[in-house]
A and B are shown apart, each in its own frame.
Chain A
Amino acid sequence: MHLTDHSATDLLALLNSGQVKAVEVCQAYLARIERRDRAVKAFLQVNAAAALARAEQIDRRRREKQPLGPLAGLPVALKDVLCTEGELTTCGSRMLESFRPPYDATVVARLKAADAVLIGKTNMDEFAMGGSNENSAFFPTHNPWDLDRVPGGSSGGSAACVAARMAPLAVGSDTGGSIRCPAGLCGISGMKPTYGRVSRYGLVAFASSLDQIGPFGQTAEDCALLLEVLAGHDPKDSTSIDRPVPKYSQTIRQPLQGLRLGLVREHFGDGLDGDVESSVREAVRVYQSLGATVREVSLPHSNYAVATYYIIAPCEASSNLARYDGVHYGYRSGISPLPLGEGQGVRATRIWTVAANHPHPNPLPKGEETDRADNALVQMYRRSRAEGFGAEVKRRIMLGTYALSAGYYEAYYQKALKVRRLIRQDFDRAFEEVDLIVGPVTPTPAFKLGERIDDPLAMYLFDLYTVGANLTGIPGMSIPCGFSAAGLPIGLHLQAPPFEEERLLRGAYMFQQATDWHTKKPELEEEN
């Protein structure tokens, strides 16, 4: 068995027992990346030298019997939305193409403290906006099961690299399904924890009230391992919750007795692919065979979830992304890249020069001349943002700006907040009757690259089953539960009440003990 085919849990056991060295593990994954990523394109950067140095250091410390962290020697890939000190953090955007943050995100610091080997940064939809990874400003990532298809998004790179065995673990972020959808489409396990469970400090914000960082792994056990390190209170994030983190990896093997499952009536309607539906129903039968009872539950407002989401998320995004104006960091039209971000630990000790009064070096094409009210500063803003952002990001900034405008605020944003509360009530009521809600994670398996690129609405509707968990803050998980006739993975969506990650993981583990979908891996031709 190839070293990279092991689950992270098994690999950790091999590392801890001294059967393999961290350097060997690291080399094995780097070799896999070398051979496979030209086709998959999951990574934006691979930090081979730094990863190997880190692995060597861990091996040395192990030899010297020094204490080691819980992930010692395990490679972990990071979605490029997480700030890494002194290293490029692009968010899949031209805007941050040369941005090197002066600090580590809290989860990055926790991974480093856990002695994980940070192997690289993964591709994503620009600013985490998208469901296919086609919105990356650099290149799309391909689904390892069918290279003509999308891996899902926005954490497509993280999902694809685990599916293609280019990393045993990866970290993603989920604002409307951005961990669960790609996990489903790539046939791996992925979880969005409860809002507040994992610190968002250093996660470049898309929609602050919805964003949450979470783990990807081959199995639920792997996710438990990683979540244990990611989760926990952080005084730097006011929305992070101060409550103890259970030992997920230790409790995960306990089956859930008398498990009550809920099937959402509204999630089995129009638009649900037949293969997806039958796989999900089959998965429910597996649970029944394990002693679970199943009942139908209703989420009456779920039809409004996507609409609600696509008001709240763009509203927050329009404000969160206002900082990319070409003044302090990131792309500035005509002068890119800006000096800030060079090197490490930059603490803004310089005075930045704003070329506010300089004429722009490249005059605008005819017909695009700004009106006379535009001074050089406004022109710099406009052009930096016009050139630095991609189409989907601009679309959402415009949607959000519009919805927050005077005269529209009440009709859109405020109304959306009210519906959000109703949706939360739907879930609260459902969880009075059931322990877990199960259903499809996406309406169809992976679609073809380019297939929906010109149909944003179809793309938005792909989030139908997942946005509810973000709007309500509850945890949700996707685990593999079958394949379509075309051989594409199908994901099972599990959702639990707030802070019941443990229940989610135990429920997923039960299923994975009874099935072997999670052990399937894509056949990829290897380049030499």
Chain B
Amino acid sequence: MSAPYTIIIGLEVHVQLLTESKMFCSCSTKFGAPPNTQTCPVCIGMPGSLPVMNRKAFELALKTAVALNCEIPRFTKWDRKNYYYPDLPKGYQISQFDLPMSHDGWLEIETKPLSPLPVGEGSGVRAANSRVTRPHPNSLPEGEGIVSSSTTKRIGIIRAHLEEDAGKSMHDEVAGKADSRIDLNRAGTPLLEIVSQPDLRSPAEAKTYLTELKLLLNYLGVSDCNMQEGSLRVDANINLHIDTPQGRIATPIVEVKNMNSFRAVERALAFEAERQYRQWQETGHKLGEVPKSTRGWDEGSQTTREQRAKEESSDYRYFPDPDLLPVTITTEEVERVRASLGELPAALRARLEQTYGIAAYDSDVLVNQGRLLVDYYFRVAKTCGDGKTASNWMQQDVLRWLNEHQVDIGQYPVAAETLGELLAKVRGGAFDTSRGRQVLAAMLESRLSLGDAIRQVGIEEVGESAVIELCRQLLQANPKIVAEVRDGKPKGIGALIGQAKKKNPNVNPARVREICLEMIQKGEV
């Protein structure tokens, strides 16, 4: 665990905003249409065409920036980033350079400490930065053994700015043919570029940051964050700080691209860190001694490969776009946006823990599933009257089923209120947890109503007098157990419950235990 270096990672995330139309024209942003069918003179850069800002895109960007705790300047403007590429029809990208719409924010993430901490230190409420807050998931029951813990850490956001996307080049490398084709459907799609500080210290931390960022964007409803469709793209800058006898040195910064999943990000960065260390051992190159290079992650070989070495930083000849007006943002607007954010993941976790009494690990699991699932949980908890029971069933039963069937909570066949009613019955002692699971399974498999499922499982309500009669018979038939219980050894009751279930599967084992104990105590047998 003791690598001879510190990894320094900063991430640039491009997020496609969920707008109906493009950043500067009214073309649709829908994914998957035939090439070049969602284009107009503006987004294909026809001579004479002019951009007009999409207000909605700006609002979504503002929402995200506020949620990322960014400072929102009162004045922001558009700049042109000039470079030639076939899928960039105007020869420049409309972006933001020196006056981005937001800067200097942060996102709080959970980080795993290097060594586990004993129980006790791990529990407690969350307060400020970098501090022990929550127990880590563990198969051991709570209160037993050692659990590792996490801390929270603020990852700085340098800036988040708006820009338009380029088109897509498709290279046809069939033998004898080498055409490149260009699809401009994506050209002009609104993108929010979120640039983090180099605050991330491990590939795992980078992944955690991305997961938390994605979750936040999901909760805000500003992006669908679909990496396959390119609505979330990640580039990483990484280098190492190495302690040497001559002092701490930094290796050259490498930009890593072409990572198509968070897992790929984690692997690419892990690979890259090791590669940089090896390279440093071989060459001794330090930051500033060689040009910044760009490497692409190759999923097949699980390695990064050099794409190009930049001679110097590219000269994009940024200048203010004279076709667009600067945007002014009032304090009232920012406050209105802040008020409209709704409950974000961090606050939601806190509420789940404080109001519903569930453990930090459990709130994390639920919140990470997205707002829809949490809403489902709230309804289950309300109907059944107990947050913990609801949480357990959500995780052990609902999530498992969703995972197995690869669907989201919107497609779960059992309504939250129905599940709540079922759990209320389990809590009320109508039947036990294992029979409750059978009922749920029946509802899921045969799409039965709660009542029908209970009947199918064969549960019939056993009258109180019948239970009492059954208990009396059992106690009379087992005087030895009765004697033991009287002597303060209640273990034998379990055997009685077993016999009771054999005689009548519908009896509630808890009730059997209660009645038996009561009878023994009162000397009724």
Contacts and interface: CB of A to CB of B under 8 A. Distances in A.
Are A and B physically bound partners? yes
Interface of A: 82-83, 89, 91, 96, 99, 101-103, 105, 200-205, 207-209, 235-239, 315-316, 318-319, 321-325, 327-330, 347-358, 377, 381, 401, 404-406, 409, 413
A352 B90 contact: no
Pick the most buried of B47, B50, B317, B318: most chain A CB atoms within 10 A of its CB. Answer: B47
Contact of A351 (B35, B92, B178, B319): B35
Give the top 5 A-B pairs by smallest Cβ distance, nearest first: A322-B91, A357-B178, A209-B322, A208-B322, A404-B317
A343 to B, nearest CB: 15
A200 B50 contact: yes
B250 to A, nearest CB: 24
A404 B315 CA distance: 9
A351 B317 contact: no
Contacts of A200: 50
A353 B170 CA distance: 10
A208 B325 CA distance: 12
A325 B92 CA distance: 12
B400 interface: no
A416 to B, nearest CB: 11
Nearest to A240: B50
Given A208-B322, A354-B181, A102 B46 contact: yes
Given A208-B322, A239-B323, A351 B183 contact: yes
B36 A105 contact: no
A201 B48 CA distance: 6
B44 interface: yes
A156 B449 CA distance: 83
A83 B48 contact: yes
B84 A347 contact: no
B48 A202 contact: yes
Given A322-B90, A404-B317, A354 B182 contact: yes
Interface in B271-325: 313, 315, 317-319, 322-325
A237 B53 CA distance: 10
A404 B82 contact: yes
A241 to B, nearest CB: 11
A156 B169 CA distance: 41
B316 to A, nearest CB: 9
For the residues of B in contact with A, the DSSP-based class is loop
Given A208-B323, A239-B323, 4 more contacts: A238-B53, A239-B325, A319-B319, A353-B180
Contact of A349 (B37, B53, B178): B37
B510 interface: no
B46 A91 contact: no
Interface string B170-208: 000000001111111000000000000000000000000
A205 B184 contact: no
Interface string B23-42: 00000000000011101110
A209 B78 CA distance: 14
Given A323-B89, A353-B180, A354-B180, A91 B317 contact: no
Contacts of A322: 82, 84, 90-92
B51 interface: yes
B45 interface: yes
Given A348-B39, A354-B182, A91 B82 contact: no
A202 B317 CA distance: 25
A351 B36 contact: yes
Nearest to B45: A323
A208 B40 CA distance: 20
B80 interface: yes
A104 B501 CA distance: 84
25 contacts: A101-B41, A201-B48, A201-B50, A204-B47, A205-B48, A235-B52, A236-B50, A238-B51, A315-B319, A318-B317, A319-B319, A322-B84, A325-B84, A327-B182, A328-B89, A347-B39, A348-B44, A353-B179, A353-B180, A354-B86, A354-B182, A355-B179, A357-B180, A404-B317, A405-B317
B49 to A, nearest CB: 7
A200 to B, nearest CB: 6
A102 B45 CA distance: 12
B41 A103 contact: yes
A381 B84 contact: yes
A77 B43 CA distance: 29
A328 B44 contact: yes
Interface in B55-107: 80, 82, 84, 86, 89-92
Given A239-B323, A401-B317, A405-B317, A347 B40 contact: yes
A89 B41 CA distance: 14
A205 B183 CA distance: 25
Nearest to B313: A406
A254 B504 CA distance: 108
Contacts of A102: 41, 46
A404 B82 CA distance: 10
B50 A352 contact: no
Contacts of B47: 83, 89, 91, 96, 99, 101, 204-205, 323-324, 329-330
Nearest to B312: A406
Contacts of B181: 351-354
Contacts of B313: 406
A83 B40 CA distance: 14
Contacts of B40: 347
A319 B180 contact: no
Contacts of A355: 179
Given A352-B181, A357-B180, A319 B44 contact: no
Contacts of A353: 179-181
Contacts of B36: 348-352
Given A322-B84, A328-B44, A349-B36, A405 B91 contact: no
A321 B178 CA distance: 28
B323 A351 contact: no
A325 B47 CA distance: 12
Nearest to B178: A357
Given A319-B92, A353-B179, A354-B86, A105 B48 contact: yes
Nearest to B36: A348
Pick the most buried of B41, B183, B322: most chain A CB atoms within 10 A of its CB. Answer: B322
A353 B180 CA distance: 6
Nearest to B51: A238
Contacts of B51: 238
Contacts of B325: 238-239
Contacts of A323: 45, 47, 89-91
B327 to A, nearest CB: 11
Contacts of A105: 48
Nearest to B170: A351
A134 B295 CA distance: 50
Nearest to B37: A349
Contacts of B84: 322, 325, 381
Contacts of B89: 323, 327-328
A489 B364 CA distance: 82
Given A353-B179, A404-B317, A328 B45 contact: yes
A241 B35 CA distance: 36
A381 B91 CA distance: 11
A358 B178 contact: yes
A87 B45 CA distance: 18
A347 B184 CA distance: 12
Contacts of A413: 319
B51 to A, nearest CB: 7
Contacts of A377: 86
Contacts of B35: 351
A404 B317 CA distance: 5
Nearest to B314: A406
Contacts of A239: 50, 322-323, 325
A235 B36 CA distance: 25
Contact of A406 (B44, B45, B49, B315): B315
A265 to B, nearest CB: 31
Contacts of A101: 41, 46-48
Contacts of A409: 317, 319
Contacts of A82: 48
